[in-house]
Amino acid sequence: MLKPYFIALLLFSIQAGIAQNDFQDIFSSNTKPLKENIRIEFQDSRNNQTFLPISILKGQREGPVFTIVAGVHGFEYPPIVGVQELLREIDVDSLTGTLIIIPIANTSSFFSRTSIVNPNDQVNLNGAFPGKSTGSVTQKIADFITTNIIPVSDIFLDIHGGGVNEDLIPFALFYDNPNYPQQTKKARELTEISGFEYIVSYPFTIRDDEPAKYVFKQASQNGKVALSFESGRLGNVQKDAVSLIKNGVYNMLDNMEMYDKGTGLNAYLIQLNNQTYISATETGLFYSHLKAGDSVKKGDNIGYITNEFGEKLNEYKAHSSGIILYKISTPPVNVDDTLMCISSSL
Ligand SMILES: [Zn+2]
């Protein structure tokens, strides 16, 4: 009596597994070298639909699994364009190990030219981790990455740039995660050889049961070598920002002995580990004479906000000395927006 039920259950499980998990099938395939492009589709209870493109490149020889994600924010184009060029250039015959490349993590935001959130469910993917398998489409994408891609990755690189309203200087960053000293050490080493001049570490202070929110913080929480680049500004595709991203990836792959196309580290590194954020306390128009990369001293005026009649509401001062990593560079601001991030070395 048990047997038919058991067989039916087994068949059902196998079929459900195949339908859901193209990624696992290709990732665990013994065919090498291999390059496969897949789209994972998502639908939620409100009938929102979206998809996650994933390219899996397996080299002939065994080696680390290096994951690269672009387009968590669909309006940050240098990361997306840089990854497009990497996909065209990287030859799997010369690759050791595996590359998992997500060229545009938030396709709904990208194709609708929406800066931060997925317009389907109004959720910011950069804030949705670990995600939820029964949630909205963006929460499902986060859950898929957390449960399928992070666990099989050794190195996890999340690439961002300045959105349409953001000025920033390029930097490579990692979490200074005391729970995983070996991975943190490797993350520091990889950022230092990336070719970026500014190397920024963020403190990692969340508990294991707290939501990581950001994808590479999720990877750090799960004990992976977790890194990020910020390159490009104001929603444009700057050629030098794209090159910095590509060289950064090639330098890291070279360091991991996965691919031989590195250009070497930047001769002059600036290490920063102390970030302070100035938040808007009013909604209005923001004016500032400063740009990303400028140095400020504690107490300096950094700008002011007016209402829509041009009347000044508040002046803002720097709470610390340092260099402006990024700032809002277009007029509109809302309460609690980060006007700028000032970074220094403790
Ligand atoms: Zn971003």
pLDDT in tens, 70-129: 999 999 999 999 999 999 999 999 999 999 999 999 999 999 999 889 999 999 999 999
Identify the pLDDT of residue 322. 97
The CB density around residue 95, as the number of other CB atoms within 10 Å, is 24
116 alpha carbon to ligand 1 midpoint, in Å? 8
H or E element that contains 85: helix 77-89
Rounded CA-CA distance 32/300 in Å is 58
268 alpha carbon to ligand 1 midpoint, in Å? 26
State pLDDT tens for residues 19-59.
347 999 999 999 999 999 999 999 999 999 999 999 999 99
> For residue 11, is pLDDT > 60?
no
How is residue 259 written in tokens?
Answer: 């691919």
Lowest mean pLDDT among 109-123, 141-155, 216-230: 109-123
Task: Collapse the DSSP code of 59 into the 3-class scheme (helix H, G, I; strand E, B; otherwise coil) and give the result.
Answer: coil
- In sign, the C-alpha dihedral spanning 54, 59, 60, 65 is negative
Q: 31 — alpha (psi -120 to 50), left (phi > 0) or beta?
A: beta
DSSP H helical segments within 170-266, as ranges? 181-192, 215-221, 239-255
72 alpha carbon to ligand 1 midpoint, in Å? 6
Single out the residue of 226, 204, 235 nearest to residue 115, CA to CA: 235
Lowest mean pLDDT among 10-24, 204-218, 222-236, 295-309: 10-24
148 alpha carbon to ligand 1 midpoint, in Å? 22
**Per-residue confidence band for 245, with pLDDT thresholds at 50, 70 and 90:** very high
Structure letter (DSSP) for residue 135: S
**Per-residue confidence band for 171, with pLDDT thresholds at 50, 70 and 90:** very high
**Per-residue confidence band for 267, with pLDDT thresholds at 50, 70 and 90:** confident
Residues linked to residue 37 through DSSP beta bridges, in sequence order: 55
Whole-Å CA distances, 162 to 85, 228, 282: 19, 13, 22
246 alpha carbon to ligand 1 midpoint, in Å? 17
140 alpha carbon to ligand 1 midpoint, in Å? 19
Domains contained in the chain, CATH given? 22-270 (3.40.630.10), 274-344 (2.40.50.100)
> For residue 246, is pLDDT > 60?
yes
- Please give the mean pLDDT across all residues of the chain: 93
Task: Collapse the DSSP code of 200 into the 3-class scheme (helix H, G, I; strand E, B; otherwise coil) and give the result.
Answer: strand
